[in-house]
Structure 1
Amino acid sequence: MTIKSKLKTFFFLDDDNDEQNEDYSEPKEPIKQKKQPLKSHNVVSLQSVQKPPVQVKPSKLILAEPHSESEATEIADHLKNRRAVVVNLQRIDPEEGRQIVHFLGGVVYTLGGEIQKIGANIFLCTPDNMEVSGNISELLPDHENMNTRW
């Protein structure tokens, strides 16, 4: 068999030679055929499929009015549990209130949150999962606010 006829046989160009080539008992290699991808008109992009909404627990806002420094740890626990806390220090000794604010400032810093003064002796402490936008202007005259400024 010539090279030309072998190539024709290999590429199925010469079907007549199959009968003639049966005399030769050469092992034939399987012919690899490329599979063509099936074209479907019902293809949907995965990006267009929306996931069902995830049930999110509602965030809580805790209102705290500590009467002593020891209650500051309870406020810190709320912050560790990712809850915002409004702390009212109007009914506590100014020195104890200052120490509570310093303690909570450290807690908030450690958690990556924020602490903001939102009123006279009232502070908002938020963990890192909450964002606060805007600010509250101070409406009290400066002479009334001198003794309790933190």
Structure 2
Amino acid sequence: MLEEQSPGIIMLCNFYEDGLQKCDEFWPLDNSAFKYYGKMFINNKKVEHQDQYNIYTLEVLPDGCSNSLITRLAHCTVWPDKGVPPSGRMVLRLLKWMQTLEVGGLFFSVLPIIVFQKPGIAFQTGPVTVLCSAGVGRSGTLIAIESVCTKLFKGQEAKVC
């Protein structure tokens, strides 16, 4: 995330699901809270509560660096592991939020975290990071939906295997 200058993160899992830890907490959840995670200072500058997810504005500063990175994180807590999202509208709202970060389109994957970027601005804004517990179920579904929607809006055939 830091290396790629990611303007946004979409996290599609809870820290614990079905009694099992699915992801470590890697940012302070409370507004205006800050904490060190290893050699990274993370400052939660703002929390926006949405209906089915929260959006965090985070300042990330590695030890020894003078420039911090501001990134936004959408944490969706209602999409169950091995299940379907509660509504298609929630998925479309996440995709719309992602587009406000000026990303989407051409994909490449690095499991378990999948990242994708828009042609022509990939290194100007960086990729959005999409993650879930395994990196293929919920993340893969969101990326597939975004890919199909992008092709349909461009009038192109959307092939789904």
TM-score by length of 2: 0.25
Q: Which has the higher contact order (CA 8 A, sep 6+)?
A: 2
TM-score by length of 1: 0.27
